[in-house]
Amino acid sequence: MTETVTVAAPAKINWMLRVLDRRADGYHNLETLFQTISLHDEITITPAETFELDCDDSTIPTSRDNLVLRAAILMRERFSTPPVRVQLRKRIPAGGGLGGGSSDAAAVLVALSRMFVPQAESHLPDLALQIGSDVPFFLIGGTAYGTGRGEVVTPLPGPSPIPLLLSFPGVSVSTADAFRWLDDSAKKSSRVGASRIRDLVLNGLLDGASELTNDFEPVVFERMPELGAIKRGMLAAGAAWSGMSGSGSTIVAAFRDVASRDEAAARLSGQMNVVSAMTT
Ligand code: C5P
């Protein structure tokens, strides 16, 4: 019998995000630079008689809206995987643009495949996209260039580990709303291009910080000015770069070294909640 398996499901940030055009299927083509970070959820999977999902955070739904459950159901439908008990230790805040639910789902796809159907591995990107646009990225992690809906992912050689601070304001942003706000603003963005992005990564990212922009920031900051204030606070505290992750609401800041990150964390801790992390 297959043993219990425990896997880490990392959060992601977006170093940059450009929303290009709205497609006939309602999604948007985009261009982004994904990055997994050390902040992670923990998932333990044990063979069981019936499917069960436990979560240590009572605010997370354990119904069919939970992406972990969707991943398990897809694996059962497609590859007849047996029932399992999934224990989810949540550390990544939900609705914060850090991809927690997507990462949990990707981790379950990979774990179930390894436990029961190794031959399913090549089909996982297809299943992942049925769950959400950024789930395929989490199958590879690290630093990756994303296009299409975000599911066309090209791994890049990652920069040396970069110290980060994350601030989670007490509000969350619906991704679908944020795309609508952008459509209403009628702002069109253009592609930076794979080769420029690769160069930025090879140069360690922080020297090109002014190019690492997120198209969602203006429309989200307009409605939630406290997020813009957090970004300004991060930069004033010495961050080499700061930006919103995904469609928000987490504000991320990157620092040249751990000492300056820790100094900024101490300075900012009275004004906002901050969590330290590293790129992975
Ligand atoms: O794919 P996912 O379920 O994560 O997307 C949530 C919502 O965000 C979609 O229903 C869609 O409204 C919007 N979206 C989009 N274009 C993308 C990704 C997401 O319009 N590339």
Residue in 12, 41, 104, 231 annotated catalytic = 12
Residue in 41, 104, 134, 215 annotated catalytic = 134
Per-residue pLDDT at 2: 66
Q: Which atom of ligand 1 is nearest to the CA of 26?
A: 20
CA distance 90 to 87: 10
Is 63 in a helix, a strand, or coil? coil
Q: Is the C-beta atom of 147 inside 6 A of ligand 1?
A: no
For each of the chain's 280 residues, which pLDDT tens digit applies? 568 999 999 999 999 999 999 999 999 999 999 999 999 999 999 999 988 999 999 888 887 779 999 999 999 999 999 999 999 999 999 889 999 999 999 999 999 999 999 999 999 999 999 999 999 999 999 999 999 999 999 999 988 999 999 999 989 999 999 999 999 998 889 999 999 999 999 999 999 999 999 999 999 999 999 999 999 999 999 999 999 999 999 999 999 999 999 999 999 999 999 999 999 9
CA distance 252 to 234: 8
Instruction: Record the pTM.
Output: 0.96
User: Is the four-CA dihedral 102, 156, 182, 217 of positive or negative sign?
Assistant: positive
Say if residues 184 and 216 touch (Cβ distance below 8 Å).
Answer: no
Distance from residue 26's CA to the centre of ligand 1 (Å): 8
Per-residue pLDDT at 139: 98
The reply to whether 134 belongs to the active site is yes
The reply to whether 262 belongs to the active site is no
Q: Is the C-beta atom of 136 inside 6 A of ligand 1?
A: no
Per-residue pLDDT at 1: 53
Say if residues 269 and 178 touch (Cβ distance below 8 Å).
Answer: no
